Structure 1
Amino acid sequence: MELPQAFRERMKKLLRQDYADFIQSYEQARYYGLRVNTLKISVDDFLQIAPFALTPVPWTETGFYYGEADRPGKHPYHEAGLYYIQEPSAMAAAVALDAQQGENVLDLAAAPGGKATHIAAMMKQDGLLIANEIHPQRAGILSQNIERMGIRNAVVTNEKPAKLAKRFPGFFDRILLDAPCSGEGMFRKNPEAIDEWSPENVAQCALRQSEILDFAAEMLRPGGRLVYSTCTFSTEENEGTISRFLREHSEFELREMNLHQAFDHGIPVPDAVESISKTTRIWPHHVKGEGHYIAVMQKTSGETKMPKLAVGVKNKKLLQDFDRFANDTLTFVPEGKFILFGDQLYLLPENMPDMDGLKVIRPGWHLGTMKKNRFEPSHALALSLHAFDVKFRKSFASDSDDIHSFLKGEVLQATGPKGWYLVEVDGYSLGWAKQSGTMLKNHFPKGLRWK
């Protein structure tokens, strides 16, 4: 691997006696990981049905290594959202955030969604998760991954941090900033990042990170936790950024992390940043993963503020078609604040603030489409349901012809009462079909269908 000479010189100065081992790591194969989605399946149950040979990732109980030849993205379990394919070291950031049920949580730079979906699993569908991404295309990918993992309590926004900070001062219990960075830690995983690297880009990233951190600080309530992470080795972007932040924000202090047992911290940082020894570096020549940096900070003072809450649909007649669907198809009727997003019906998370004037991609749990005199359920609703949530279901084995036909969008032959059926793979929700006569008409989204 052709690493930039300037990068080599910087790393040699930083690592000293560890430099040779670090460079040698680039000659080794990268590691592959997936994280079990505990919103849909327990770790123990997944290990019983897993079609791959898995070994645990030591810093999270839901993470596992798999072999490069396994290709889990091509398995029906992936479409069912039973796991998220994620670089092993990247799993550590959400563990450090340690989001709890019922909290207000912000993932400030969330695409493509690995850390946001991990946070959501830890929240267990209870509380408010705002997952933000400033780039529109990446925000769309983030929204798709939120949907695939069956998350009900997430709002996806496409906003600048400055605009969010103005709207939500002192509101969030926890904030994760997985900051845009020079990507040095991902060179082995993403060689294209090498061509984009330069000392000038490192400096620009550090400036941008500091600005975003300032906005994050505004949005955290007193006593709240702010986790800053990057996938770079640069001291300017890591310890340097955190040192600057702590100097300018006396209301914050570093906290010890619960990950120290998993990582080797024997490499000193430059003297200019010796005051932040509590932060964590993940080195690819010490662990089975790529390079990461994590700092955990707590806000010790300030003011908690509650924004105006969102208002749901007041005209109950608009919900009659949905209520009819829920009574015919589900074993429960969703309750709470509903909102019409165009002709799309959503159920808002609890404590949902007023989002008027913000770019919102997904304002909560997507239930379906309000069509003339009928309601059509969304794919997101299907993926968020369990077998016990529905009255009618058809489950097929993951290696069956039927499940592959369903994923291709084909009609299945089946008998049963008319109505909406939850199609499952080995008992786990995959999508909708509608029984009519001896046919199970396929409603798996066209854009997701297998070829």
Structure 2
Amino acid sequence: MSLQLPEAFEQKMRELLEEEFEAFMESYEQPKWQGLRVNRLKLEACDFQRMSPFSLTAIPWCAEGFYYADGERPGKHPFYHAGLYYIQEPSAMTPVEMLDVRPGHKVLDLCAAPGGKSTQIAAKLAGSGVLVSNDLHPERVKALVKNIEMAGVRNAVVLNEHPARIADSFGAYFDRILVDAPCSGEGMFRKDEDMVKHWSPQRVCDYAGMQEEILEAAAALLKPGGKLVYSTCTFSPEENEAMIASFLGQHPQFEVVPLSPTHGFQSGRPAWVTEKQTDQAEHGEQVGHAEHGEQAEQVGQAGQVSEPSEETGARQEAARLETAGTLRLWPHLVEGEGHYVALLQKMPDAQSIEQANTEVRTASVDSSYGTDRSGKDHGKGQGRPRKQEIRPLDTEERERWHAFASSVLDQTKTAESIGQTDKPLISWKQFVYECPVSPLLLSGLKAPRPGFFVGELKKQRFEPSQALAMGLRPEEVQQVISLDMADERVIKYLKGETIDISDFPHIQKGYGLICLGPYPLGWGKSMQGMLKNAYPAGWRWQ
């Protein structure tokens, strides 16, 4: 075997899998599966199949998902730069498929970077509703922002926050929540050998503590009647069935929505849940969080729990049995890597419904921007000041926007014109966004993208963003330069070069949208038959 697995991991899997262990180990000798998911914000899967230069095979659990052949490089194709697909591990497409996202929903992706599942959610929202994508790590948020913008998502907010702080601000706001939790990564060993190097039994315990905290925040953020998917890419029962059993035992208003084990998936394993594991899940935050750089330490007297009452014991046993309705994806049974998925629903009751109703925010854009929903001024805190600089555009700024829109955009051809009352234009510093939520909800939160990034207010003018180009359709723009795939100017444009457009005599001086066929790539400024390139340096063809 070329991949050297930790001895403690092999022993654990031998004990769990028993007669399946040999088949499981043989999967590490097989090549990893590679997939891409078509972006339905841009085109339908059947349309992409007809035009695809790659050899594609359908992924059975995702209608937009396809395997591509080894040796092909879809990340090095102009279609990738046009946002037509996202390169995604096939098993990783499963959690969003189980979340039952529908247009109009308010959806939270709580651990979102690098953005694959967020773009999958956005496609299911089909431009309506709200997507809030969050990740705790600032560097990972950069990739999240780029992937959301490349996909042409117009109804997303990107946060860089602790989940508990989001819960403090939003309350029970969301119809759907995805918790694709940070984990020990055992299911990714074949795909990423670095996961193997960092694995240890202690690391499993460390992640269990973080997962418990994240789920606690997610419970507070979900509306009564809403659904939550908890997923990991690991095999450890401590991070999977035991985590769900512990959560259900502490949150009786939640229940497992049973998932059908089709496509080679297996049901969850309640028999793998032990009392020790559920105690670890319930008190995991005291074990220590390696991800946060804290020293791991054993649970002392504060971590000890008294014997459960008969009623508590019965609830815990019922919770354990419910985990049979969750799913496991094994690399020896499916054409993908290892994953775990649990679908939970928050049952409504009279008190929770009343609480959710009273937390509906109806604040207008020109309300106070320095206070949260309770009216308290946050003052100083972590990161940038709690008092946000988010504000509505003033009269002069709005005039600059309208001057640009009237000369570049053709809003008469679409009902989704930018800056309508339900998605007002706001400003943070010199940047302009279309905000799909009440800005009051973002007060005090670190929001690298408080909405659809429209552009930047320059001196006496408005400069459109790359995100705006990717989020538009050609019919929404007055001047469009549409290039064929075989045109060498496509690659020149993606490299940031000036290109000759003298064969487009109808293009006048000013901004034009460069497209690969009908799919936007970015902006350029036309002058005397030449196009000055506005493709951002960080996106350019390498």
The normalised TM-score by structure 2 is: 0.81
* 8 Å CA contact retained: 2:267, 2:326: no
Counterpart for residue 445 of structure 1: 536
Structure 1 residues 229 and 268, CA gap change in structure 2 (3 angstroms): closer
Q: Aligned to 1:430, what secondary structure does the other structure show?
A: strand
Counterpart for residue 458 of structure 2: 371
Measured after TM superposition, the shift of residue 214 of structure 1 is 0.7
* 8 Å CA contact retained: 1:254, 1:298: yes
Q: Could you tell me the percent identity over the aligned residues?
A: 44
1:285 matched to 2:332: yes
Instruction: Give distance in 1, aligned partners of 2:438 and 2:432.
Output: 18
* Residue pairs, 1:46-125, within 5 angstroms: 46-125=48-127
Measured after TM superposition, the shift of residue 395 of structure 1 is 1.4
Measured after TM superposition, the shift of residue 352 of structure 1 is 5.7
Structure 1 residues 9 and 31, CA gap change in structure 2 (3 angstroms): same
Q: Aligned to 1:361, what secondary structure does the other structure show?
A: coil
Measured after TM superposition, the shift of residue 387 of structure 1 is 1.7
State the AA in 2 paired with 1:135.
H
1:322 matched to 2:324: no
Structure 1 residues 104 and 446, CA gap change in structure 2 (3 angstroms): same
* 8 Å CA contact retained: 2:254, 2:344: yes
Measured after TM superposition, the shift of residue 264 of structure 1 is 3.3
Structure 1 residues 48 and 351, CA gap change in structure 2 (3 angstroms): farther
* Residue pairs, 1:183-202, within 5 angstroms: 183-202=185-204
Partner residue of 1:396 out of 483, 498, 502: 483
Counterpart for residue 334 of structure 1: 418
Instruction: Give distance in 2, aligned partners of 1:177 and 1:334.
Output: 31
State the AA in 1 paired with 2:499.
L
Q: Aligned to 1:109, what secondary structure does the other structure show?
A: coil
Counterpart for residue 421 of structure 1: 512
State the AA in 2 paired with 1:263.
G
Q: Which whole-Å deviations, capped at 9, do the CAs of 1:209-262 have from their partners, x for residues lacking one?
A: 1111011001111000011000000000000000000000001001023x5322
Structure 1 residues 352 and 291, CA gap change in structure 2 (3 angstroms): farther
Instruction: Give distance in 1, aligned partners of 2:110 and 2:66.
Output: 26
State the AA in 2 paired with 1:340.
S
Counterpart for residue 218 of structure 1: 220
1:298 matched to 2:299: no
> Would you say how many aligned residue pairs link Structure 1 and Structure 2?
450
Counterpart for residue 307 of structure 2: none
Structure 1 residues 144 and 39, CA gap change in structure 2 (3 angstroms): same
State the AA in 2 paired with 1:173.
D
Counterpart for residue 144 of structure 1: 146
Counterpart for residue 263 of structure 1: 264
Q: Aligned to 1:130, what secondary structure does the other structure show?
A: strand
Instruction: Give distance in 2, aligned partners of 1:351 and 1:263.
Output: 43
The normalised TM-score by structure 1 is: 0.97
Q: Aligned to 1:131, what secondary structure does the other structure show?
A: strand
* 8 Å CA contact retained: 1:282, 1:291: yes
Q: Which moved more, 1:283-292 or 1:327-336?
A: 327-336
* 8 Å CA contact retained: 1:168, 1:307: no
Q: Aligned to 1:236, what secondary structure does the other structure show?
A: helix
Question: Structure 2 unaligned runs (5+)?
Answer: 274-319, 366-390, 412-416
* 8 Å CA contact retained: 1:15, 1:267: no
Counterpart for residue 434 of structure 1: 525
Measured after TM superposition, the shift of residue 353 of structure 1 is 4.9
1:348 matched to 2:435: yes
